[in-house]
Amino acid sequence: MTNQRPFDTLNESIGNGVIIRLKDGQEVHGTLKAFDVHMNIVLENAEEVTNESTKKFGTLIVRGDNIIFVSPGNSSE
C-alpha cells in the first residue's frame, strides 16, 4: 500500500460512488463528479439516506465545511 494524500484518494474516486456524512448526521450517497481545495463536493445521482427513507436530489453541491467524512468506493446505486 502506498502513502497517498487525501486529495489523491478523492481524485481516484471521481466517477465512482461515495458516501458522505455531514455534521448534522445526514448521510448522502452519490457519484463523485468534482471537488476543490475546500472539499466542496459535486455529486450526481445524489440521495439522502435515512433508516426510514431515501430522498433523491440528482446533482448536489455539498459545502466542504459541513463534511465529517467521505468514504470512496461505496454507494447505494
pLDDT digits 0-9 by tens, 25-68: 999 999 999 999 999 999 999 999 988 899 999 999 999 999 99
* pLDDT value at 1 more than 60: no
Query: Model pTM?
Result: 0.84
Task: Let me know: does 46 contact 28? Beta carbons within 8 Å.
Answer: yes
How far is the C-alpha of 13 from the C-alpha of 6, rounded, in Å?
11
C-alpha cell at 11: 481524485
- Per DSSP, the residues of 21-39 read EETTS-EEEEEEEEE-TT-
Across residues 3-28, what is the average pLDDT? 92
Angle in degrees, CA 67, 12, 10, rounded to 5: 15
What dotted CATH number matches 6-72?
2.30.30.100
Residue 5 pLDDT: 84
